[in-house]
Amino acid sequence: MADTLAGVIPLAPGARDPGLRAIAIYKAVKALAEVALVIGLLALARDGALAGLREAATFARAHLTSWWSNLAVRGLSALGRRHGLGLLEVGLALDAVLTAVEGWSLWRGERWGPWLVVGATLLPLPWELWEIARTGSPARVAVAAVNLAIAGYLARRIARERR
């Protein structure tokens, strides 16, 4: 079981590093949570529960911390339009796919996996820092610190492998 993810996806010999495994598991959990959110949004929209969606938007604005999540919250806030909700669902689903590919690539020990995670993690960093400066949210600071730690760990690993 230690060499598979949930007993299903085998762990490649090159990915036995506990740090890579921890990041891959984090990415898998995040992707599943995003898929659950998309399914929940679809169910709420189907039932016409706009009031519930507005409550979800308010809750998310107060508790979600990543830049991508903030974009999702802004999409949730624009609930008067059915079209906007569809774009939100697609955006969350695409982020879930990217996150799943990041985790899978690390779990399988793909050489390009750390590069993908570092790029996807650092690309929105300027917007994250802007939001931190604007809001001063401790939760945002914590998430940015975790993302920087992941990117730093993987960047050091990439540099070590290149030598």
User: Is residue 111 one of the residues assigned to a domain?
Assistant: yes
User: Is residue 155 one of the residues assigned to a domain?
Assistant: yes
* pLDDT of amino acid 156: 93
- Dump pLDDT digits (tens) for 75-104: 655 554 555 556 677 778 888 899 999 999
Task: Provide the strand spans (E) within 7-132.
Answer: 9-10
Place of tokens 């750390």: 114
User: Is residue 8 one of the residues assigned to a domain?
Assistant: no
Q: What is the mean pLDDT of the chain?
A: 78
Distance CA(69)–CA(55), nearest Å, equals: 16
* pLDDT of amino acid 103: 94
Distance CA(152)–CA(121), nearest Å, equals: 10
User: Is residue 142 one of the residues assigned to a domain?
Assistant: yes
| Mean pLDDT confidence for 27-50 | 82
User: Is residue 25 one of the residues assigned to a domain?
Assistant: yes
* pLDDT of amino acid 115: 95
User: Is residue 10 one of the residues assigned to a domain?
Assistant: no
Res. 117: pLDDT tops 90: yes
User: Is residue 2 one of the residues assigned to a domain?
Assistant: no
Which residues, other chains included, contact 132 with Cβ-Cβ below 8 Å and sequence gap of 6+?
140, 141, 144
Higher-confidence residue: 135 or 44? Answer: 135
User: Is residue 112 one of the residues assigned to a domain?
Assistant: yes
* Full residue range of the structural domain in which residue 45 is found: 17-162
Q: Work out how many domains the chain is built from and give that number.
A: 1
